[in-house]
Structure 1
Amino acid sequence: MSTPIHIIGGGMAGSEAAWQAVNLGVPVVIHEMRPRVGTFAHQTGHLAEMVCSNSFRSDDDEQNAVGLLHWEMRQAGGLIMSMADRHRLPAGGALAVDREPFAADVTAHLRAHPLVTVSEEEVTALPETGPAIIATGPLTSGPLAQAIADEAGQDSLAFFDAIAPIIHADSIDMSKAWMQSRYDKGETEEERTAYLNCPMDKATYEAFIDALLAAEKTAFKEGETAGYFDGCLPIEVMAERGRETLRFGPMKPVGLTNPHAPQVKPYAVVQLRRDNKLGTLFNIVGFQTKMKYGAQTSVFRMIPGLKNARFARLGGIHRNTFINSPTLLDDQMRLRSRPHIRFAGQITGVEGYVESAAMGLLAGRLAAAEILGQTLPPVPQDTAMGALIHHITGGAEARTFQPMNVNFGLFPPIDLKGGRKNRKARYKGYTDRAKAAWTGWLTGEPALAL
């Protein structure tokens, strides 16, 4: 049997890295400190536990970069996407999952594999010998984060992520709320009614904004200067940027008709998305918050339909550690100063469940290939995978490096025949080119130019 890969962290990236490696015949040891050592955000000891949301975002693989990333991971036999598809919930055009069964199934698949060993322990130092993958995610333990910072010769880079609250469905007043996906999007009735909507008139919205701005917030510790990730801003931070900001963000009232008052256009709408298959839990979409718990209950109960809401989980804020990957990692995701160590997931400076799992997929394949004496060709930058790995290992400006979701701005420009095309045609051109390139990379054959 070949040398095992030690994977530190059993989140999205670590779980996917392990699955890819063992399916190439290379054993792995997953070091996951939970449940022995908990975090404020995690609630179980499962691998791949979803914390901030239960959504993998858009599943459109022709017009959306993250949907394309879904497609690429499915083509590569990704465990995370396979389990997400198995535990999918109605969410319009998004891929949302029943988070607890999803994590339990990922855990069961990995623990059942003969080449996987799971070690429940906290790792506090960098491995002296390899091969190893560090995939500890946003909640890297203090001692290991310090060891990484010491090795990198820099202060830990960080930003703050916020978590949205979850509400018991039977505490929602359906005489005020209704079920509808925006623009009735979806192929089935279940998908077209995947979201629960709570309408606000202008006076209610203004009162809500006032309460939001006045609410007591969690304060940063002395000396903490990290900012927020723009894709996961607390709602009160958005409100501070302008009273109308939420109406053009998570509370936009477009594409919805209130059946209780069809002639009245809501001034703003709060949407909730199903959080489990039973439909007993809903999370408030886009309502990440740093309000203190008491303030959350009073402010959120101002929302029509949520007057008597019972909260299964309140929102919160946590520090998300990442490294300056463009200066520290080579194009194989290896730490330049210790090439037996690779990094994967959010700690590399990608943001989001899917992006984290995707970097785990690549790290697992790259590490396994190296052990097997193989050399994988560079991942084509035309692909979503390639665009991400290129960004974090040299494409981004190191001095201003910040976490990034996958987006078409990371892809090489596309030259469409026939002159200037509209955005829909351009995005379809990106995805067609990416699919050909990714298929070629997986099969070892060069992709034909489109």
Structure 2
Amino acid sequence: MDGRLHIVGGGMAGAEAAWQAASMDVPVTLHEMRPRVATFAHRTGDFAEMVCSNSFRSDDDERNAVGLLHWEMRAAGGLVIATADRHRLPAGGALAVDRDPFAAAVTAALRSHPLIEVAEGEVTELPAAGSWIIATGPLTSGALAEAIRAETGAASLAFFDAIAPIVHAETVDMSVAWAQSRYDKGETEAERTAYLNCPMTKADYEGFIDALLAADKTEFHEGETESSPDPTPYFDGCLPIEVMAERGRDTLRFGPMKPVGLTNAHRPEVKPYAVVQLRRDNALGTLYNIVGFQTKMKHGAQVDVFRRIPGLADAGFARLGGIHRNTFINSPTLLDGRMRLKSRPNIRFAGQITGVEGYVESAAMGLLAGRMAAAEMLGRDLAPPPADTATGALVNHITGGAAAKTFQPMNVNFGLFPPIDASAGRRGRKDRYKAYTDRAKSSFREWLAGQS
């Protein structure tokens, strides 16, 4: 044993785990296979590179579960959330970031830390000794995935995940589109205009749906389609638009293409039948991603179908969408309450590979795993935060709160929290959510205070 904490994977979870452990004066070796071993989705070798979105979602810490998770990570000195705050973009009530400077800043912070060393190259086996955290995310390399399967004796669960396309802002026709966040959310003009909106008439929408359903789609391997005897499921929070359209012609119009809370600046008297939103993707405002438009269409079909959207007839794409198979372990079966692999307690798992979904959730599990591992190496046992906190609710869900047989990736939500005491009387939804966040903040402060 070399007295160092070894972390495999430099994504959101691994980066945060390394920062937390080093902040507790525990030396860390951060193993990252990129850029030596590439993935189809990543473009660089930077840590915490954002792939499918540039958003950390709602930043409302009083009535939103993910906003509460932001608050807890800030309170715990999280590197990922602090860096996101420094590189945030106008996005109404959401926390969106300028993805490239964000990843570069996380990378610089980790590489310059005196207690963190970076080891480039692929880890292909589960280590027999030492303290390790596996935070390889949904694109775990084949060799390491096989090592995990061999150790656990159970196949990893899997789901398909999709990436939305990114458009060059200068190619959006602003005589058709207009800038406005839904319900004009945002404290500044920049935040209220962080979204571009492309309106559709009923005829536009019906034609778009027809083209979408008829387009060439990505072909899957045997056993990876919805019609297979044991199909790999999609994660409902990141469904391809084609799958949503197949569930009903109006599904998109009541989902990512809903026209509510928006007024066409060019024709305010006409209510759109549907609206496609684009969200600013970088600080320069030169790139916009199409919100909710994850897709499994082939690239040529994407260009044809997306240019049917009013305002995008001449759209230029900085990146087209894509789909890939993500893997995650059956955490309720395999992990203990300290996120350790039951069969090899020297190894913890963190991030999306544990079955949490989303950048914020992944970073939060890295934060917790890094603190737990460092505490253990310092001769202390650190219990997870109470289950009435956002972090505690997530780790409780993946380490036993969820049913192992039906375990699926999960975003943080108030349904994972212990119910508010009914004796407090009936509450409206907003008041109830505020009660959840007030209780959580109090519990999280106590948990942090107990570590000093």
1:323-353 Cα offsets, whole Å, 9 max, x none, are 0101100000000000000000000010000
Q: Which amino acid aligns with 2:298?
A: K
Structure 2 partner of 1:264: 270
Residues 5-56 of structure 1: per-residue CA shift (max 9 Å, x gap): 1100000000000000000000111110000110110001100000110000
Counterpart-to-counterpart distance in 2, 1:86 and 1:57: 16
Unaligned runs of 5+ in 2: 225-230
Written as runs of structure 1 = structure 2, the 5 A alignment for 1:159-308 is 159-224=159-224, 225-308=231-314
What's the C-alpha RMSD, in Å, of the aligned pairs?
A: 1.2
Task: Give the match for residue 8 of structure 1.
Answer: 8
**Partner of 2:227 in structure 1?**
none
Residue in structure 2 matched with residue 35 of structure 1 by the alignment: 35
In the TM superposition, residue 194 of structure 1 has moved relative to its aligned partner by 1.0
The one-letter amino acid paired with 2:396 is H
Alpha-carbon distance, 1:310 to partner: 0.5
**Aligned residues of 1:416 and 1:429 also touching (Cα < 8 A):** no
* 1:439 aligns to 2:440 (yes or no): no
What one-letter code is carried by the residue in structure 2 that aligns with 1:18?
A
Equivalences for residues 7-406 of structure 1 within 5 A = 7-224=7-224, 225-406=231-412
TM-score (norm 2): 0.97
- 1:378, distance to aligned residue in structure 2 (A): 3.6
Give the Cα separation in 1 of the matches to 2:451 and 2:76.
15
CA contact (8 A) 1:2 1:27 kept: no
CA deviation after TM superposition for structure 1 residue 2, in Å: 7.9
Partner Cα distance (1:316, 1:2) in 2: 41
CA distance in 1, matches of 2:367, 2:165: 30
In the alignment, is the contact (CA less than 8 A) between 2:34 and 2:121 conserved in 1?
yes
Which whole-Å deviations, capped at 9, do the CAs of 1:199-239 have from their partners, x for residues lacking one?
00000000000000000000211122311000000001000
Does the CA-based 8 Å contact 1:416-1:426 persist in structure 2?
Answer: no
Q: Percent identity?
A: 77
Cα deviation for residue 377 of structure 1 reads 3.2
Deviation at 1:417, TM superposition (A): 5.4
- AA partner of residue 79 (structure 1): L
> CA 1:418–1:322 in structure 2 vs 1: closer, same or farther (change >3 Å)?
closer
1: CA distance, partners of 2:382 / 2:369? 12
> In 1, Cα distance between the equivalents of 2:424 and 2:135?
44
Aligned 8 A contact 1:2 1:371 in 2: no
- Aligned 8 A contact 2:372 2:383 in 1: no
Unaligned runs of 5+ in 1: none
Q: CA deviation at 1:416?
A: 5.6
The ranges of structure 1 where at least 4 consecutive aligned residues each deviate by more than 4 angstroms after the TM superposition are none
TM-score of the aligned structures, taking structure 1 as reference length: 0.98
Query: What amino acid is the match of 1:155?
Result: A
